[in-house]
Structure formats: structure tokens, C-alpha cells
Amino acid sequence: MRPAHGDGSPCAAGPELPTAAWGRAMRSLLAALCLFVAGTAFAAERPSFDPKLGVQLSLERELVDTSGRKLTLGETLGGRPALVIFGYDKCPNLCGVTQQAVASDLKKTSLRPADYRALFISIDPDETSADAAAARDDIASAAGPAGLSAWRFLTSSESAGAALANEAGITFDRRKDIDQFVHPIAVIALTPSGRISQVLPALTFTPRDLELALVEASANKLGSIADHIFLLCAGFDSSKGQYTPAIWAALKVAGLATVLGLGATVLWQMRGRAR
């Protein structure tokens, strides 16, 4: 369940927003609040996130699933593209919110859950498969039965999760005084071979962004013809964390030029007739 009003009081009356727009607004607000708190409370020593597209994650890193079975990252991917979130299962902040958002938005895409993976990899070596199972159960409603089948919640007693996070460009800090990890959070798209193909900032994505990230990661083996055409005409706007059709901007400029040209032609003809 995504966060509601912190004090439980009803919101003031105002213009109603569509559910999707309201959800995106709340996500952006939460992300901004998290960044503000992190910037003020941990300014002296801040974890960082410096992802590099094309970086290969180690497929041989051994992880543990919710049943206690050991699997490598490569075995977990199983030849499928994936969306990966690094965090920890007992996180009281944005980890759960991001999981819920991704689970809910993936359900709104046209992709089949059997064709991709959604991974939540714990960076806390003390967490167990029972912790992972509890976190998985928390998103069951948002994901739905079919969507939940694509999810894998993974832990590792040998710090493999933390090592993979470091490979992805994530640094974090364990604060024992508050019993929490301070860490960046994002949704990372992986190719079937474990390379980073795209990074989506947490809580700013849309269902369409998640779908296109998986289509792009699959080298267009997933998705519809419309998805493929859109990707040909679109670019990823890292400032917004969304896929933005670059061609639309060009069409707007071309359209404006056409209107101005027609206006100039009409004006020239009117002046000619007046003479």
C-alpha cells in the first residue's frame, strides 16, 4: 500500500486529479522529500549512485530465494530481461513504496510476466529468506497472482547482494545508531545477459516507461510493433526519468514553421490584392 497522509487527517478540498496523475504526483513528492531528508541529515557522508549503461553484473554471484534455494544471478534471470531494485527487505522508507509502484505499474503493461523478471535484491547480509518472503507477500495484492510470478526476492549471507549493488554503481552506508541502511534507490533494467541497459529513478516512472525499458533490454524481442516504433522515435530523458518521443519535439517545430509559413503566404496574398 502506498503511503497516505502522514498524520491521518483528511486532505483539504481541492481540484480532483485522475488516479494515475495523483499517484505520480505523490511519488514525486515522496522522492523529493526523501532527497531533502537525505541531503540534510547525511550531508557529511552521503551514499552515491553512479550507474553506467552497459556495465556487466557478475552472473555467478550466488543469491538465495524465498524458499532458501541458492541460485546465481544468471540462473535467476533465466535468459530474460529484468527490472532490478537494490535495497533491503526491512527498509522503512522507499524500498516498499518502490516495490508497490513497480508491481502495480507492471500489471498495467501489455507484457507477459513469464517473459521478464522483477528482482528485489537485499544489500543486507543479515536478512534471510523469511524476510524476503514477507516482503514478497507485501506486494502480492499490487502485483496480482500472474504478476507476482515474475518477482524474485533475493538475499545472500555472503554479501553477494551488496557486491552486485556496488557493481551497478550504488554505494550505501549502514547506520547502526538508527538500525538502517542509507542508500539510493532506482529501477535498473538488465539485459538477459546481465548488462545494465537503462536506469529509471524511483517513483517517477510510468507503466509505459517500465514496459519500454524491458522491451529495450530484450533487444526488441518483447513488446508490440508499436513499442518498437516508439523506441525508434524516442529517447530516454534522464532528467525526467521517462522515455520522451524526440520526434514529437521535431514535429512541433515543423508544425510551427508550417503555420508561420502559411500565415506569411496569406498575408502576402492579401497585400497583393489590396494593391
> In the chain, what are the domain boundaries?
19-224, 233-275
Going through 60-133 in order, the beta strands assigned E by DSSP cover: 62-64, 70-72, 82-87, 117-122
- Bridging pattern class, strands 180-182 and 173-175: antiparallel
The pLDDT of residue 13: 41
Banded pLDDT at 93 (limits 50, 70, 90): confident
pLDDT-wise least confident of 119-123, 132-136, 202-206, 236-240: 236-240
Whether 159 has a pLDDT exceeding 80, the answer reads: yes
What is residue 49's predicted lDDT score, i.e. its pLDDT?
Answer: 81
Does 199 score more than 70 pLDDT? yes
Q: What are phi and psi of 146, to 5 degrees?
A: -70, -45
Q: Would you place residue 29 in the very low, low, confident or very high pLDDT band (cuts 50, 70, 90)?
A: low
Instruction: Report pLDDT for 118.
Output: 98
Q: What is the mean pLDDT of residues 111-138?
A: 97
Q: Which residue has the higher pLDDT, 37 or 121?
A: 121
Q: Which of 82-91, 98-107, 127-136, 212-221 has the lowest mean pLDDT?
A: 212-221
- Residue from 114, 78, 222, 239 nearest 212 by CA: 222
What is the C-alpha end-to-end distance of the chain, expressed in Å? Answer: 72
Q: What average pLDDT score do residues 106-129 get?
A: 96
Average pLDDT over residues 80-92: 96
Closest listed residue to residue 162, CA positions, set 245, 62, 28: 62
d(CA 14, CA 8) in angstroms, rounded, equals: 18
Angle at which helices 94-106 and 129-138 cross, to 10°:
60
Distance between alpha carbon 113 and the CA centroid of its chain, in Å?
16
CB distance 200 to 237 below 8 Å? no
Residue 6 or 190, more confident: 190
- 205: nearest Cα among 4, 24, 33, 36: 24
- Residue 71: pLDDT above 50? yes
Residue with cell 554505494: 171
Predicted confidence at residue 130, as pLDDT, reads 98
Q: Any idea which of 1-15, 168-182, 197-211 has the lowest mean pLDDT?
A: 1-15
What is the rounded average pLDDT of the residues 18-35? 54
Give yes or no for residue 252 having a pLDDT over 80. Answer: no
Percent of the chain with pLDDT over 90: 50
Q: Tell me the average pLDDT of the chain.
A: 78
Lowest mean pLDDT among 3-7, 63-67, 163-167, 186-190: 3-7
At residue 191, does pLDDT exceed 70? yes
What's the pLDDT score for residue 143?
97
Q: What integer pLDDT is reported at residue 264 of this predicted model?
A: 61
Q: Are 169 and 51 in contact (CB under 8 A)?
A: yes
User: How many other CB atoms sit within 10 Å of the CB of residue 132?
Assistant: 25
**Can you give the three-state secondary structure of 126-167, one letter per residue?**
CCCHHHHHHHHHHCHHHHHHHHHCCEEEEECCCCHHHHHHHH
Q: Is 83 exposed, middle or buried (0-12, 13-18, 19+ CB in 10 A)?
A: buried
CATH of span 19-224: 3.40.30.10
- Per-residue confidence (pLDDT) for residue 273, from 0 to 100: 59
